[in-house]
Homo-oligomer: A and B are copies of this chain.
């Protein structure tokens, strides 16, 4: 197995537990502090003297601006191209556009350094977005017309994470090898989408590269696995392993911790009860997803299970009233765990159960 194929992917199964799960869940606490919480440099990610996050020497604000300028341009120019079928060659295409700070015929001026923006497999990702029901205008609006929110507790991978304000999209920096690996997987990903419509694998919406200050910063745009629209009362990250698979004390302090296999076995000895046909559908989908991951030689993945307890939600709604609809504080808290769901571990094939 190649080193880059041992990355950590999670499939999401968001289950609404209507069968009366009795577990007590700690009430939502205050959200965890943002950028200030990051004290050290991990991988390419660090903090500059002003307290701003930097990634490969580019400040987070510059990177966000470049991403927004770049995606606006690439989606806009794609909109002008006629719809056509995706061809095998399209998976290997890389489009590139230069953004000088003074502007050009094709690009607007901006207040940052010159940069280049590359779009990987634009036609293929347009097709994927369409398959996922993402309209081009919505994609562009959500990512480019609203500020991107930086997520602080981004885990040990050294990646930088942003979420769109509407909570739909996650942007994540990926390493060269990861981007290359994802690009190589695209034909198989295409095949899976066409056959396994209920797939629980991450939804990839775009793969881009910002070339700034002589460095390549590759980013992937994905679905937010646990958007705030549905509050999850319980979360489990399941690997099918029992080796060190218990949530850390630090994780347990969170408002809604992400528990692990040993916690699940202890708290839910009978598992989750699903209706027969739903159970069969979920199992079949997971089997198909696992077969695909296996064919990609990916073995280090887990299933993220979110449980929305309907009884509890209705009690919460009674006490919280309308606040429940917007609650920005709770959103941040949700991000703080959901983010783990899509992160690539910095290690390769080593166990990641630390």
Contact = CB atoms under 8 A, between A and B. Distances in A.
Interface string A84-113: 111111000000000000000000000000
Contact of A87 (B84, B87, B191): B191
Highest count of chain B CB atoms <10 Å: which of A85, A187, A195, A196: A85
A187 B194 CA distance: 13
Contact of A191 (B84, B88, B291, B292): B88
Contact of A187 (B187, B195, B291, B292): B187
Nearest to A199: B85
Q: Report how many copies the assembly holds.
A: 2
B194 A87 contact: no
Contact of A292 (B87, B190, B196, B292): B87
A142 interface: no
A288 B295 CA distance: 30
Interface string A212-254: 0000000000000000000000000000000000000000000
Nearest to A124: B191
B187 A85 contact: no
Interface in A294-343: 295
Interface of A: 84-89, 127, 187-188, 190-192, 194-196, 288, 291-292, 295
Given A85-B191, A86-B191, A87-B188, 10 more contacts: A84-B288, A85-B192, A85-B195, A85-B196, A85-B291, A87-B191, A87-B292, A87-B295, A88-B191, A89-B295
20 contacts: A84-B288, A85-B192, A85-B195, A85-B196, A85-B288, A85-B291, A85-B292, A86-B195, A87-B188, A87-B291, A87-B292, A87-B295, A88-B187, A88-B188, A88-B191, A88-B295, A127-B195, A187-B187, A187-B191, A190-B191
**Lowest 6 CB-CB distances: which A-B pairs, in order?**
A87-B295, A88-B188, A194-B194, A85-B195, A88-B187, A85-B196
